[in-house]
Amino acid sequence: MVLFLYGEDSYRSRAKLKQIEERFKKTDKSRVNFIRIDGERNPWKNIEKEILSPPFLHDKKLVVVENFLKKRGQKFDEAVAFLKEEKIPAGTVVVFWDDSKPDERTAIFKFLAKPKQADKFDLLDAAKLKKWIAEAAAEREIKIEPRAVEMMLGLVGFDLWQMSGELDKLAAYVRGQKEKNNLVTAEDVAIFVKGKFDENIFSLTDALGTKNKKIIFKILNEQIEAGLEEGYIFAMLVRQFRILLQIKELVAKEYSFISASDPGIKQKIAMELGLHPYVVQKTLYQVKNFSLPELKKIYGKLLAIDMKMKRGNFNPRAFLDLFVAEVCLE
C-alpha cells in the first residue's frame, strides 16, 4: 500500500503523518518495524531495500520516505518501475511525505498523486485559517475573541507552525490568570504574539502601485529563488491588498481629515481592524499609490484568480505573471 502526503502546508501534512505513525505504533509496540528514511539524501536502492525487507516478528511494517521528490535532476525511473510492478509486500505501508509542492510534471508525481492514495495540503485561505485558529484554541481548552483571531492572522499570516506555538504561549498565559477565564483577547495577542512580517511583500505592493514591471519581476524571482512557494506569495498578496482596501475605505470614511503621518491614526486603525500597528504604518504609506476603485479592481482580480486556482490543476507562477501583466497594463 502506498500513500502520498504533500503540499505547502507542512504543518497539517506532518500532523496527518503523525496520525498514521501513532496508529501503527499501537499495533507494534516494539516500533522496530517503523522505518523513517531521508528520501532526499538516500538513493532509491536503499529505500527499495527497506521496503522489501520483511517485518521483524510482526505481520505489518510502516516505511516513511521523506522528501524523495525533492531530488533534483533525476527521472525517478527506478522508483516508478518498482511501484508500477506492485512489488511492495502485503502488510507493508509506504508513505511518501513531501513538505513542498513537487514538480507535477515528473512521472513519480503522476503515479503517486492518484485520488485514493494522495492527500494534498494547500495553504489555508483566510476564512479557513480563522476556523483553524478557533478549533486549535478549543483543543487547548481556551477561548479566543474574534478580534484576537483577526489580529493573530494579521501578525502571523499563514504559518501554522508559528501560529501553533503562539497559541501554546497564549494558552499558558490565560490559564495562569484566573480573572481571564481562559479567554484570549486582542490585547493579549498584541502583548505576547511576535509578528512575522515579510518586507518583500511591502516592496512588491509598492512596485505594483508604481507599475514598475522590472522591479516586480525582480522581487518575485528573488523570493522564489530564496525558496518561497508561488502559492504562499500569492496568498500574501491577497492578504496585503485586502488590508490596503480596508484601510483605504476606513481612512476615506473616518480619518480623511487626519494625516497618515499622525502617530495616533495607526493605533486607532490597528485596533479597529485587528492588525498590528507596524502593518498599519507600512500600509498607510502605500494607500496613496492606489485609488479606491483601483484597489477594488485589483482585489477582484486576485479573488477571481484564487477561484481559478482552486478549481484544479494550475501553475501558480503563470497566474502571478498574468496578474502582474494585467495590473501594469492598466
- 179-189 tens-digit pLDDT: 888 899 887 88
Angle (nearest 5°) at CA 304 between 129 and 220? 75
Arithmetic mean of pLDDT, 12-34: 87
- For residue 29, the surrounding DSSP H or E stretch is none
CATH code at 2-120: 3.40.50.300
Q: Where are the domains of the chain?
A: 2-120, 126-192, 199-329
Percentage of the chain beyond pLDDT 90 is 18
The dihedrals phi and psi of 224, each to the nearest 5 degrees, come to -65, -40
Decide: residue 90, CB within 10 A, 0-12 exposed, 13-18 middle, 19+ buried.
exposed
- For residue 51, the surrounding DSSP H or E stretch is helix 44-52
pLDDT at position 259 is: 53
The more confidently predicted of residues 277 and 73 is 277
CATH architecture of the domain formed by 126-192: Orthogonal Bundle (1.10)
Specify whether the CB–CB gap between 196 and 163 falls below 8 A: no
Per-residue b or e along 271-291, where b marks 16 or more CB atoms closer than 10 Å to that residue's CB: bebbbbbebbbbbbebbebbe
Specify whether the CB–CB gap between 269 and 275 falls below 8 A: yes
Which of 119, 163, 101, 133 has its CA nearest to residue 13? 119
Of 32-41, 133-142, 202-211, minimum mean pLDDT range: 202-211
Of 44-58, 115-129, 283-297, 313-327, minimum mean pLDDT range: 313-327
Is the pLDDT confidence value at 314 over 70?
Answer: no
What average pLDDT does the chain have? 82
pLDDT tens digits along 159-175: 899 899 999 999 999 88
Q: Quote the CA–CA distance of 290 and 307 in Å, as a whole number.
A: 24
Lookup: cell for 216: 516586480
pLDDT at position 187 is: 79
Domains 126-192 and 199-329 share a fold: no
> Selecting from 1.20.272.10, 1.10.10.10, 3.10.510.20, 3.40.1360.10, what CATH number does the domain 199-329 have?
1.20.272.10
